[in-house]
Amino acid sequence: MTQSDSPPAFVDSLHLPSPALQAALQQLYEHDPDFLMIEQANGSLSVRRWEPGFASLVRIIAGQQLSASAAQAIFQRLLHQMELTPANVAACSPDDLKQAGFSQAKIRTCQELATAIATGKLNLERFAQLSDSAIVEQLTQIKGIGPWTAEIYMLFCLERFDSFPAADLAIQASYQKLKNLPQRPSRKELLAYCEALRPVRGVAAHLLWHDYRISRNQRIPVCS
């Protein structure tokens, strides 16, 4: 089923923090007041917030090792090619995903994910009852989904505020800037630096992305 006549869906806008995120933000500031400087320098925090489900996971897979704008363009092309359901993606020709701009590796990942959901091997609706570690364990059973993809999904879609994608280069660069470090920290180093921020490390990630977007002059519309 095509969606060529449908209006653009899944707009990559930013949102004001939810009440829960606002509360977690204050908790972070109590842990480490340095993070206050990010809002002071860049204005109030805005965040990405996506609906839980298969489509959001496909969007995150599209964004692996790509800029947000490039990933969004690929994802929008896919939305206009087909109705984005696990059954449709599992059954479609790989060429359909290739035409949208997915690499061969990402095509295999999306189709394996779609098959796992369509056959009941993976149930995203149960994630609300699972721990962060259990969610990461289940998602990373799909080849091509690593910790970064699982952590982004938990943070953007499930509001798991301790989910911390420490391998993200933008987060690493912004943390280096915030703490005036001589070099960009590795994933292992960043996890060690931010261990004391539990259980709100993901809020730190949102702030670090916020600083990176403003520093790079990436102006994205903010919605309520």
pTM: 0.90
What domains can be seen in the chain, in order of their start residue? Answer: 14-46+163-223 (1.10.1670.40), 54-157 (1.10.340.30)
Q: What is the CA radius of gyration of the chain?
A: 18
Catalytic residue (one of 12, 132, 168, 211)? 168
pLDDT at 11: 63
Token reading at 100: 């949208």
Residue 14 pairs with which residues in a beta bridge? 222
Q: What is the DSSP code string of the chain?
A: ---TTSPP-S---EEPPPHHHHHHHHHHHHH-GGGHHHHHHH-S--B----SSHHHHHHHHHTTTS-HHHHHHHHHHHHHHS---HHHHHHS-HHHHHHHT--HHHHHHHHHHHHHHHTTS--GGGGGGS-HHHHHHHHTTSTT--HHHHHHHHHHHS--TT---TT-HHHHHHHHHHHT-SSPPPHHHHHHHHGGGTT-HHHHHHHHHHHHHHHTT----EE-
Token reading at 85: 């359901």
Q: Are 84 and 54 in contact (CB under 8 A)?
A: yes
User: Distance of alpha carbon 152 from its chain centroid, rounded?
Assistant: 3
- Tell me whether residue 168 is one of the annotated catalytic residues: yes
Q: Are 185 and 175 in contact (CB under 8 A)?
A: yes
Which residue in this structure is represented by tokens 């092309």? 77
Token reading at 58: 């496909």
Digits of tens for pLDDT over the chain (224 positions)? 333 333 345 666 789 999 999 999 999 999 999 999 999 999 999 999 999 999 999 999 999 988 888 999 999 999 999 999 999 999 999 999 999 999 999 999 999 999 999 999 999 999 999 999 999 999 999 999 999 999 999 999 999 999 999 999 999 999 999 999 999 999 999 999 999 999 999 999 999 999 999 988 765 544 43
Determine the 3-state secondary structure of 16 from DSSP.
Answer: coil
pLDDT at 77: 93
CA 75/CA 131 separation, integer angstroms: 29
